[in-house]
């Protein structure tokens, strides 16, 4: 769209534009001032118990409307077929039938792969980079490099890795980075994301590459929070660097590791973009989120909702654990 047509589109909507620019702040200001006005009229004792509700009220309404209502709507939807007939738990039955290869089971298996491998690898590499970069003078440069993949979208990441995994027949120049690397050691090229035996791991490797920076930055911050005199004291007591890591650094970082870990678990359960772009679930790489999307795409809202609810049910325990852990970390501060 060129600038002129953009401008004319904007100008065509001047009333809307004016309403947004002037109206929204005005309503907010009126709400705050009006709320305070009401609170001032109340007896002194009642004020502290009412004021927070006035401030948090809009957020609660938004969350209720845009999050809670859709969740219950989806749960309700999952009990119907395509023609709005109530079918009870039939959709769940379809999704959970035919263990181990029917229904959603391949997707559930792959989500477990993601959950275990993605989480562990990101944590291990993140911790490794955090601890190692802490000891070199060019720390910030290395950390920026490792963090950089976080700045690109996962769709772009998946596209890049698709090129990295590309295949040419043996004897031809290898255009894919991975196969070119193999060629250095006189190994035959192979397919990565089209071979059901390795495809899941190839996808997870791409995701790990993209996410290590996230874990590294947070773990590194936690590492810097460990008081230097503590490490000093350990050294004075004759502890080696490995012992210090094992006995002092690691236990002190544990709460942060757990919080990062649970965040990663939630991400692993939600994994979608990489799978959608690189294989679309072919070659036994389907995950629940992609399955849900595909079902929705073909208009099977009941089944798609059932998959969504299965996914929510899997995430909720992790979420609760994550919130508790957050609170525990906060309490220790």
Partner 1 sequence: MRSSGFKSLLTVSVIALLVTVACGTGSSDKGTVHVLAVWAGSEEDSFKAVLAPFTQKTGIKVSYESTRDVDALLQTRIAAGNPPEIAGLPSPSTLSKLASQGHLVQLDNGIIDMTKFSAQYSPGWIQQGTVNGKLYEVFSWAAVKGLIWYDPKNFTAKGYQVPTNWDEFISLQNKIKGSGTTPWCVAVESQAASGWPGSDWVKEIVLSQSGPTVYDNWWQGKVRWTDPAIKQAWETWGTILGPGDSNVYGGKNYILSTNFGNGGDGLFANPPKCYMHNQASFITDNFVKNTPGIAPGTDFNFFPLPDVNPAYAGAHVGSGDAFSLLKDTPQARQLMQYLVTPEAQAIWVKRGGKLSPNKNFDLANYPDDITRQVAKVMTGAKIFDFDAGDIMPTPMRDAYWSAVLAFITDQSKLNTILSGLDQVQSTAYKA
State which of residues 90, 177, 194, 325 lies at the interface with partner 1 (CB under 8 A). 194
C-alpha angle with apex 329: 324 to 333, nearest 5 degrees? 145
Find the shortest distance in angstroms from Cβ 232 to partner 1: 55
Which range binds partner 1 by CB under 8 A, 104-112, 131-139, 193-201, 243-251? 193-201
Residue closer to partner 1 (CB basis): 14 or 242: 14
Contacts with partner 1 in 254-283 (CB under 8 A)?
A: 276-277, 279-280, 282-283
Burial 105-116 (b: 16+ CB within 10 A, else e): bbbbbbbebbbe
Q: Can the peptide bond before residue 100 be classed as cis, meaning omega within 30 degrees of 0?
A: yes
Q: Decide: is 238 part of the binding site for partner 1 (CB under 8 A).
A: no
Q: DSSP string covering 230-277, please?
A: HHHHHHHTT--HHHHIIIIIHHHHHHHHHHHHHHHHHHHHH--HHHHH
- List the one residue from 191, 234, 312, 315 that touches partner 1 (CB under 8 A): 191
Cα(306)–Cα(315) distance, integer angstroms: 14
Q: For residues 160 and 285, give the distance between their C-alpha atoms in angstroms, rounded to a whole number.
A: 18
Are 182 and 220 in contact by the 8 Å Cβ rule? The answer is no
Query: Which of these segments, 28-36, 44-52, 59-67, 165-173, binds partner 1 (CB under 8 A)?
Result: 165-173
User: Among the candidate windows 44-52, 191-199, 230-238, 240-248, which touches partner 1 by CB under 8 A?
Assistant: 191-199
Radius of gyration of the chain (CA): 26
Q: To the nearest whole angstrom, how small is the minimum distance from the Cβ of residue 82 to partner 1?
A: 5
For partner 1, the closer of residues 1 and 236 by Cβ is 1
Residues β-bridged to residue 80? 86
Structure tokens at 172: 């031809």
Q: Annotate each residue in 195-234 with x if it binds partner 1 (CB under 8 A) or - if it does not, as one string.
A: -x--------------------------------------
Angle between helices 119-133 and 250-270 (to 10 degrees): 140
CB 107 to partner 1: min, Å: 14
Closest residue by Cα to residue 280 from 266, 291, 265: 291
Of the candidates 167, 209, 211, 214, which one interacts with partner 1 according to CB under 8 A?
A: 167
Within 10-29, which residues bind partner 1 (CB under 8 A)? 11-12, 14, 18
Only one of the segments 22-30, 230-238, 246-254, 289-297 lies at the binding site for partner 1 (rule: CB under 8 A); that segment is 289-297
By CB under 8 A, is residue 190 in contact with partner 1?
yes
Those residues whose C-beta lies under 8 Å from the C-beta of residue 302, and which sit 6 or more positions away, are 77, 78, 79, 80, 81, 82, 87, 91
Q: Give contact residues for partner 1 (rule: CB under 8 A).
A: 8, 11-12, 14, 18, 82, 165-169, 189-191, 193-194, 196, 276-277, 279-280, 282-283, 293-294, 296-300
């Amino acid at each position: 769209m060129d600038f002129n047509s953009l401008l004319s589109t904007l100008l065509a909507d001047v009333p809307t534009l004016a309403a947004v620019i002037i109206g929204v702040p005005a309503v907010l200001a009126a709400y705050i001032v009006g709320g305070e006005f009401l609170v001032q009229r109340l007896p002194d004792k009642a004020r502290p118990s009412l004021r927070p509700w006035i401030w948090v009220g809009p957020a609660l309404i938004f969350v209720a409307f845009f999050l809670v209502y859709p969740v219950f709507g989806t749960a309700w939807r999952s009990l119907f077929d395509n023609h709005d007939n109530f079918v009870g738990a039939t959709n769940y039955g379809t999704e959970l039938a035919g263990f181990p290869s029917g229904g959603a089971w391949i997707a559930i298996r792959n989500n477990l792969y993601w959950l275990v491998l993605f989480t562990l690898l990101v944590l291990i590499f993140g911790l490794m980079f955090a601890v190692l970069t802490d000891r070199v003078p060019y720390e910030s440069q290395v950390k920026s490099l490792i963090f950089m993949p976080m700045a690109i979208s996962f769709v772009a990441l998946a596209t890049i890795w698709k090129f990295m995994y590309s295949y040419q027949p043996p004897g031809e120049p290898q255009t894919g980075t991975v196969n070119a690397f193999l060629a250095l050691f006189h190994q035959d090229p192979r397919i990565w994301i089209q071979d059901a035996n390795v495809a899941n791991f190839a996808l997870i490797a791409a995701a790990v590459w993209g996410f290590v920076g996230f874990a590294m930055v947070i773990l590194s911050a936690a590492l810097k929070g460990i008081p230097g005199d503590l490490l000093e004291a350990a050294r004075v007591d004759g502890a080696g660097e490995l012992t210090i890591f094992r006995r002092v650094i690691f236990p002190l970082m544990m709460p942060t590791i757990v919080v990062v870990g649970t965040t990663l678990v939630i991400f692993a359960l939600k994994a979608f973009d990489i799978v959608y772009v690189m294989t679309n679930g072919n070659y036994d790489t389907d995950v629940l989120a992609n399955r849900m999307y595909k079902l929705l795409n073909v208009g099977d809202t009941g089944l798609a909702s059932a998959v969504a609810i299965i996914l929510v049910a899997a995430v909720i325990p992790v979420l609760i654990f994550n919130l508790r852990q957050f609170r525990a970390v906060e309490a220790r501060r």
